[in-house]
Structure formats: structure tokens, C-alpha cells
Amino acid sequence: MTHFSEDGKSLSINQVTITEQENISQHIAGFNDVCLIVLPIRSQSDSFYSVLKESIELLGKNATLITIGSSNQLVHVQSNVPLVYQLWISIKRKTPQYSVEKRSLPNYHFGALVHTAYQGALKHTVTRIKYTYCPACDRTTKDYGGKKHTYNSYGTLISDIWRDIACDLEADLSDVIERFSDLFGLEGYQELRVLDCRNLKNSTFYATENQSVLYKSQLSLFSETACSEDAISQLINGDCLEQLKQLPSNSVDFAFIDPPYNLGKNYNGYSDDLSIQEYFLWCDIWIKEVARVLRPGRTLAILNIPLWAIRHFLFLEKILEFQNWIAWDALSFPVRKIMPAHYAILCFSKGKSRSLPGLVNQKNSLDTPSSSRTFLPLAPLAQNYCLRAECVRKRNALELTDRGMLTDLWWDIHRLKHNSRRVDHLCQLPPQLLYRLICIFTNRNEVVLDCFNGVGTTSLTAHQLGRQYIGIEISEKYHQIAEARHEEIRQGLDPFRKEERKLTEKNSRVPRKIKQVYEISKKELQLEVKRVANQLGRMPSREDVINYGKYSIRYYDEYFSSWGEASAAARHDGMSESRANSQDDNLKNAANNNRQLGLFS
């Protein structure tokens, strides 16, 4: 196993095969531990979901419920389960599932929805995943920089995307089941009861399809004739609800939407905290408008956190056809004990999708700008390869095959962390995300729309890739920034280049410490707290460090943004990035191995 639960014991696993849906309730009634339901292989009728709902209502007050199935099954579970939503976990498949006509990306993950019968935060053990190592340089996949002394020697906290294990929904799920038995191996729980419904009798068709066809015909999304001649690239400063109405039907080849998440962010000129009902009613209006302007066979992609994506999904499937739930592992931060790394990109086509340009024409990505030379939009980095410049250089020189398959599970694109890549926007996306999406879903000269264009990540990448673009943005400030960056492209500059910029907006509540020259290194100060901890046999407080530490407390107050940061090294035993001694030898061995395998000529 590649995980380790620090503070628990494994639950005893009890597996039951369910063949009649009526039998589910008898195994659930009054059960107060952890129940894991594996959904039938085929999508189910509404009657299955109502039986499920009635059964789940019988769970005990302290129970945890895990439901495992494909993404498009789980959205229906979420809309039927009368419990507290806690988590959506994406789990890597062993065997990708291909669409023969290439109308969607290969499916490479399924999901586990976690609910609780109790209110409040999810209770689970502190579970860590072993560090992974780059197959070429044998150092940790992630570069931990100068903070290694503050990390755990075993591994990182688990996140909501599991890629270190792989199972198929149709086959042996024991790795996943064992992990849940450890993750929830808490005081008070004894049993993990697995109700395996995969062989349920009378698996039926997906009844909501009928309703969906009816709804789609009422919407008359297809009624107007194509009207798309020479669309002209443009940025529009205005409210998307009004501006979308001005666009002709069937005129856009790909729409990418990164809406405000309604999480109370302080956007320039827009309130991001509507009531949840108001928020989704508002979303449904612009989704319908975007669907209208989309050309038949083309794709609308919406980015959101999993819980919000579920709600979008339930509306989208009424008017468009499901293609993919892309699980984007966007590099997690340890903000919770299960790190939130998962962003969902929902892809739906207007009617039957055309074969995806990026899957039928690999040349679609050749025009990618040079801002990120190692990034090939249609050839993602294979799992575990690192992004250290020296290792990438050596891999390229040795012609090492470090690329993997393009699927609906993405891990090689990280959120913008460094200020030198940001302009003044709270939620600016990395351009690589848009390079990939645009290369998959469009050909050159086709029209890309983003009606929440921010500082222009979508319109700028479309411009660089030789596509037409329409970017709508309500904030004048962001609109002006995007305009200026398009001008940079026209002048031959890369708007995503690295640059020292003075930012006025910051996407974190913790005040940033001003860069300064340190009289004593931060590492030395943190190691001193660790020494005091060892001396006292407990985590030291600020007062303890005043009394027993050898450095003045003023250094701690001036150099660290919190006591948590100052005492980080005392909580962990520290880690090493290196697994083997000779990196160059490993590289050569890997290259030789690749040559012998005929991976490149």
C-alpha cells in the first residue's frame, strides 16, 4: 500500500453482494459505521435512485456513506442522497476507456462520493501518501525547495484525487476499499460494510434520457440556421447575460467558462456571494445562452469545484450531450487534512459531438507558443516525471520518452503560484490549461468564447493559437488588462512571460510578509523550535521559545506569518528529495531502457 494512516486502525471489511435492489435497505437499516455502496455497472432508472434514497435514510446518526461509480452516475446519487455532502474523490482507472469515434477523451477515472449522516466536518484519520519519484532523476516528483525540514518523511497528506492506486470499476476494487478502511479507521467505527451492487438484476436504461429529449426539443436550441460567417475577434466589456444575447446562434466552436464560484471572492465590481439558489438560477441562464450560440457538434466546457459541477451537470444534461468530466489535479495545498486538488471541467456537446480535432489531428498543438517550452498540450507528461528544469533538459537531450496518454485525468498543469506569472486578478488560470482545451476542441481559425474572460487567459491563448476569440468581462479593469495583453501579442510579446509585477490583489487571507534580508535563516529558526520541542517533549508555544530558545522572539514575529509556520519543523521529521545517489546514471539507464524497448528511434 502506498498510504499510511497515522492515528487509526483498519476497519474490518464485510462485503455483501446485492442482486436485488430491494435488499439494499436490510443491510443499511440502523447501521452506524461506514457503508460503501458500489453502484451497478450500468446507469440505473429513477426507481433505483429512489430505493437508494429510502434505504440511506435508514442509516444510523453517526454513519459515513461512500458511493462508488462513474461520474455521471454519482451526480444522480448526490441529487438523491439525503445526507451531508463531504467530498468527491476521483480515482484513477487501471484501464482507460476509449470512445471509438474520438468524440470524447478516454475515460481514466471514476469517483467516490462521501456523505455523512452527522453534521459538521468530515471525521477521518490523518492519512499520508508516499512521495513519488521522477523515473529519470530519482528525486521527488514535486520540488520541495528549501522547506524539506518542515515536511513529513513518509509522504504528503492525501488529496481528493487518487492516482497512486488504480482500479477498474468492473474489476477488483480492493485497493480502494482497503484505503477507505484506513481513512475511516476511527474510534467509534468498527466495520466497513461494502454493498456491491455491480451485478444487480434487471439493470435498466437511464430513464431521465426521455425527459432530457423532451426538454431539449422545448428549448429549440437547434432551430435557427447557422450564422457564423466571419466572426471577428473581440473583447467586450459588459454583463455576459446582456452581451451573449447579441451573439448569433450557432456561431461559436468552443466555449470555455470559468465562472465566479460564489465563494465570496472580492472581484472588481462584482458581488460573489449570492444565495445558492440565486447563484444557480443565474448560472442556468448563461448556460442556456452559451448553448444557443454554440454550433451543433461543438463543446461547452465549464470549470468548477466538484460540488458546484454536480449541479451544473444536472442542468447541462437536460440541454446538451455529456462528453467528459475532466478531473484536473491542480496541485493541492495543505489547507485541509484531505487536500482539495480536484477541479472539474465538464464537457458537453451540442447534439452529437464531432470527432475531437485534437484527437484526430495531433498537429493541432504544433502552433503552441514558446512561453512554456516543455509543455505539449496534446502530449501530457507521463505520471511522476518532475518539472525541474535541469531534469527536463537532460530528458530532452537524451530523447527520453516522458509523455503519456491524453485522457480525462490531468495532473501536469499547476495553478499559478508564482507572482511573476500573475497579473492583477484573484483567479487567473494557467495558460497551459487553455492551450490544451483549445487544441483538443478546435481547429485553427475557429471561434472560442469565454463569457467570464477575466484578464484574458482564454482569449489570449486562443489568439496565440490562431483561433478567433470572443471574451466578455464585466469588470472594466480586467477588461483593460486583457486588451493591453492582446496588444502585447500583436507586438510580438508573450503575455504570459515571467515578470516582476507589483500586485495589488492577493488571493489569500494570510498577509504576505515583505521580502527582507534575514539575519538568521528561517530554516535555522524553525529548527531551533524543533530543538525546544525535543527538549520539552511537546509542541512548544511562543512563550516556551522565549524561555528556552536561543534566538530572540522578535525574529519569529518579523519573519513568519503565523506560529504554525514558525513551528512547522517541530511537527515533522523532515524529508529528503533524493531516492538514489547517481542521478545521471539513472537517466542513462532509463534512456537505454527506452531505446531497448523501442520507445523512440
Ligand X SMILES: C[S@@+](CC[C@H](N)C(=O)[O-])C[C@H]1O[C@@H](n2cnc3c(N)ncnc32)[C@H](O)[C@@H]1O
Where does this chain bind ligand X (CB under 6 A)? 239-241, 258, 260, 267, 270, 425, 427-429, 451-452, 454-455, 457, 472-475, 478
Distance CA 489, CA 483 (A): 10
CB count within 10 Å of CB 122 equals: 18
| Residue closer to ligand X, measured from CB, 63 or 481 | 481
* Three-state DSSP state, 64: strand
Distance CA 193, CA 229 (A): 59
Which residue, 232, 231, 237, 233, is CA-closest to 251? 231
| Residue closer to ligand X, measured from CB, 140 or 237 | 237
**What is the nearest approach in angstroms of ligand X to the Cβ of residue 434?**
8
| Residue closer to ligand X, measured from CB, 261 or 551 | 261
Distance CA 524, CA 516 (A): 16
| Residue closer to ligand X, measured from CB, 192 or 449 | 449
DSSP assigned state of 420: G
Q: Which residues pair with 112 in a beta bridge?
A: 68, 89
Q: Are strands 321-329 and 342-349 parallel, antiparallel or unpaired?
A: antiparallel
| Residue closer to ligand X, measured from CB, 93 or 292 | 292
Indicate the angle between helix axes 71-78 and 46-56, nearest 10 degrees: 50
**What is the nearest approach in angstroms of ligand X to the Cβ of residue 87?**
23
> Do residues 20 and 50 touch, judged by C-beta distance below 8 A?
no
**What is the nearest approach in angstroms of ligand X to the Cβ of residue 48?**
36
**What is the nearest approach in angstroms of ligand X to the Cβ of residue 310?**
19
* Three-state DSSP state, 481: helix
Distance CA 342, CA 355 (A): 27
Cell 539575519 sits on residue: 519
Q: Tell me the C-alpha to C-alpha distance, in Å, between residue 304 and each of 112, 194, 330.
A: 18, 30, 12
**What is the nearest approach in angstroms of ligand X to the Cβ of residue 77?**
28
| Residue closer to ligand X, measured from CB, 46 or 239 | 239
Alpha helices in 320-374 (DSSP H): 357-360
C-alpha cell at 222: 437547434
Structural element, H or E, at residue 17: strand 12-17
* Three-state DSSP state, 201: coil
**What is the nearest approach in angstroms of ligand X to the Cβ of residue 269?**
7
The 3-state secondary structure of 348-373, one letter per residue: EECCCCCCCHHHHCHHHHCCCCHHHC
* Three-state DSSP state, 353: coil
| Residue closer to ligand X, measured from CB, 275 or 596 | 275
| Residue closer to ligand X, measured from CB, 164 or 258 | 258
| Residue closer to ligand X, measured from CB, 270 or 322 | 270
**What is the nearest approach in angstroms of ligand X to the Cβ of residue 72?**
25
Distance CA 64, CA 515 (A): 45
Which residue, judged by CB position, is nearest to ligand X in the bound state?
454
**What is the nearest approach in angstroms of ligand X to the Cβ of residue 283?**
11
**What is the nearest approach in angstroms of ligand X to the Cβ of residue 268?**
6
C-alpha cell at 40: 451497478
**What is the nearest approach in angstroms of ligand X to the Cβ of residue 481?**
9
Cell 465562472 sits on residue: 259
| Residue closer to ligand X, measured from CB, 175 or 424 | 424
**What is the nearest approach in angstroms of ligand X to the Cβ of residue 262?**
10
Q: What is the largest CA-CA distance in the chain?
A: 79
| Residue closer to ligand X, measured from CB, 195 or 423 | 423
Cell 477541479 sits on residue: 343
